[in-house]
Structure 1
């Protein structure tokens, strides 16, 4: 498969995901600041989820550049990552419509956790290595952000039902952590 085809498909799916999320933003019915302020959960959820899509899109571009060719393994790893990413609009809508209640929060962070695992499996499929062990070492040992992100997502899974606010702080910190430039894997 041509790299351009995989990039175009991935870009299209991510664009649709953002479109679905933005369609959840409903304008207030009245022209007052009070009615606008009632939308804070939706705007906050959208902003956080949009940041994640933007981070993935940016990193995906850099990652695909490193592939010499698109193998069957890379193609299916990419499709799996896109599958889990496609749940972000659903979980974003659920948490914002329920004002960040514990169960939707758990599902929300679970989607981020499983999407991160799928993305790191895609990294392992793409980055040059002679063995699975070497690929694992390259992704999870060299790139400390992968280890820290998955560690904090796991903590967030445990805090979601009892301290949802802590879970959202974890999600936000991970987003800022990934926005910050890294020179480990470029």
Structure 2
């Protein structure tokens, strides 16, 4: 059946778009780029590069446990890599971190990582439950992170005043 493959592709396209949008906002908070920030960025890109593979496998085997679990593991690892990139940016910027002010303790990000772990584990028991969680998490992140956007615009407004 082609329909599950197409749905898997759409979900993965949405996830890549979510990362793309939030990554764009994230990098706008940077004052300087360091080697560790570049490598953390590559780490994130590595995990995102696995999304098409995991998506294709899950779509072609929509009721199989291992592909659904692998999809969740790839999403979990991308989430962890994004978190590492955030932390490196915050540490690089130190006290003047716009990103730190914007995201606070990043509860939404931490909850998402936990949910990806749970979903990947649930995929072994019931793949469709895991896949439903992947959709719910995508919907949770569908709108780009407004916290960063608000902080960037308020900083620009202050600088113009």
Same fold by TM-score greater than 0.5: yes
Q: Which has the higher helix share?
A: 2
Shift of the 159–140 alpha-carbon distance from structure 1 to 2, 3 Å rule, reads: farther
**CA–CA distance in structure 1, aligned partners of residues 25 and 83 of structure 2:** 14
Alpha-carbon offset, residue 147 of structure 1 = 1.4
- TM superposition score normalised by structure 2: 0.81
Alpha-carbon offset, residue 170 of structure 1 = 0.9
Give the 5 Å matches for 1:49-128. Answer: 49-127=12-90, 128=93
- TM superposition score normalised by structure 1: 0.71
Secondary structure, in 3 states, of the residue corresponding to 2:8? Answer: helix
Runs of 4+ in 1 over 6 A off after TM superposition: 137-140
- RMSD over equivalenced CA pairs, Å: 2.0
Secondary structure, in 3 states, of the residue corresponding to 1:160? Answer: helix
What corresponds to 1:129 in structure 2? Answer: 94
Alpha-carbon offset, residue 181 of structure 1 = 5.1
Residue 116 (structure 2) pairs with residue 157 (structure 1): no
Cα deviation, 1:27-65, whole Å, max 9, x if unaligned, reads xxxxxxxxxxx3111110000000000000000100000
Q: Is the 8 A contact 2:103 2:148 kept in 1?
A: no
Alpha-carbon offset, residue 100 of structure 1 = 3.6
What corresponds to 1:180 in structure 2? Answer: 143
**CA–CA distance in structure 2, aligned partners of residues 151 and 141 of structure 1:** 18
What corresponds to 1:168 in structure 2? Answer: 131
Unaligned stretches of 5+ residues in structure 2:
150-161
Q: Is the 8 A contact 2:18 2:143 kept in 1?
A: no
Shift of the 65–182 alpha-carbon distance from structure 1 to 2, 3 Å rule, reads: closer
What corresponds to 1:30 in structure 2? Answer: none
